[in-house]
């Protein structure tokens, strides 16, 4: 069940900082009319070192949309958590961090609308877009979609149009662009400072269904051993294995 907001003035948790690289797959293109069907978050610290990752399929409470794009079938989301059931964990992951994405305004818009549907307004979090960074620091790219940018950066292949595959590739692209000689430190130091000052809403910690069963994350398999894949350490708190089973990958917030 979804707990109510914690009373009192929300604050950014002490000691939390860095980047939250996000990607969503959705049932369509409109955040107002369509729903998130898969979400992934890759956490990087302020020095761009990988910390943890989170990913799950979601029950959109309706058709899953363009299966030919995201390759998620209706049967894949049967029993998957609803957005409101993972919302407390997502808030914990995003708080105090710069929100990063490839065309990040799109991912942010979908997350903003999903939180709005459960009555939780997202704060004005600093955004960092790897597509914009690539336009400046990867002028040799044949295009500025994520696949073309990853290719131009020499990151190798990845499972495109999967939330976790895209989030990992975006994290690697962020590291590549921010490490470029043409990238001044203020391109990322200033957003980090701003993110640390943003007050975030909190939701209580209970993450169970009305039946009392824990909310379990649904992960779909990703091809293993792809070039450029971020080697997230299995021992990191909150981390998930790179190729976890699609269904029943562990209770909310715990490794499978």
User: In the predicted model, what is the mean pLDDT of the chain?
Assistant: 81
Q: Are 30 and 113 in contact (CB under 8 A)?
A: no
170, burial (CB in 10 Å: exposed 0-12, middle 13-18, buried 19+): buried
Cα 32 from Cα 23, distance rounded (Å): 17
Residues in the chain: 256
Per the DSSP assignment, residues forming a β-bridge with 23 are 40
Cα 186 from Cα 192, distance rounded (Å): 9
In this prediction the pTM is 0.81
- Residue 16 has a pLDDT of 53
Q: Are 20 and 99 in contact (CB under 8 A)?
A: yes
> Model confidence over 13-61: pLDDT tens digits?
444 589 999 999 999 999 999 999 999 999 999 999 999 999 999 999 9
> Model confidence over 103-140: pLDDT tens digits?
999 999 999 999 999 999 999 999 999 999 999 999 99
Q: pLDDT band for 220, please (50, 70, 90 cuts).
A: confident
149, burial (CB in 10 Å: exposed 0-12, middle 13-18, buried 19+): buried
> Model confidence over 141-162: pLDDT tens digits?
999 999 999 999 999 889 999 9
> Model confidence over 167-200: pLDDT tens digits?
999 999 999 999 888 888 777 788 899 999 999 9
254 phi/psi in degrees, rounded to 5: -120, 155
Q: Are 39 and 24 in contact (CB under 8 A)?
A: yes
Does residue 71 have a pLDDT over 70? yes
Given the DSSP bridges, would you call strands 50-57 and 127-129 parallel, antiparallel or unpaired?
unpaired
- Residue 52 has a pLDDT of 93
């Amino acid at each position: 069940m979804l707990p109510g907001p914690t009373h009192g003035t929300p604050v950014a948790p002490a000691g939390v900082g860095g980047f939250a690289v996000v990607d969503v797959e959705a049932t369509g293109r409109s955040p107002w009319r369509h729903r998130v069907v898969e979400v992934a978050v890759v956490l990087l610290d302020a020095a761009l070192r990988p910390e943890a990752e989170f990913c799950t399929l979601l029950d959109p409470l309706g058709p899953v949309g363009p299966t030919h794009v995201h390759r998620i079938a209706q049967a894949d989301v049967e029993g998957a958590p609803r957005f409101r059931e993972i919302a407390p964990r997502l808030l914990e992951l995003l708080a105090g961090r710069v929100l990063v994405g490839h065309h990040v305004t799109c991912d942010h818009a979908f997350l903003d609308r999903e939180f709005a549907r459960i009555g939780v307004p997202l704060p004005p979090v600093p955004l960092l877009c790897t597509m914009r960074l690539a336009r400046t620091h990867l002028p040799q790219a044949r295009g500025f979609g994520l696949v073309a940018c990853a290719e131009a950066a020499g990151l190798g292949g990845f499972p495109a149009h999967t939330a976790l595959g895209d989030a990992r590739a975006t994290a690697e692209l962020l590291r590549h662009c921010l490490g470029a000689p043409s990238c001044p430190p203020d391109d990322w130091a200033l957003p980090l400072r701003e993110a640390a000052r943003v007050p975030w809403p909190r939701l209580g910690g209970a993450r169970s269904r009305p039946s009392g069963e824990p909310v379990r994350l649904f992960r779909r398999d990703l091809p293993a051993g792809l070039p450029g894949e971020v080697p997230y350490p299995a021992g990191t708190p909150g981390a998930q294995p790179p190729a976890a089973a699609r269904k029943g990958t562990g209770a909310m917030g715990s490794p499978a």
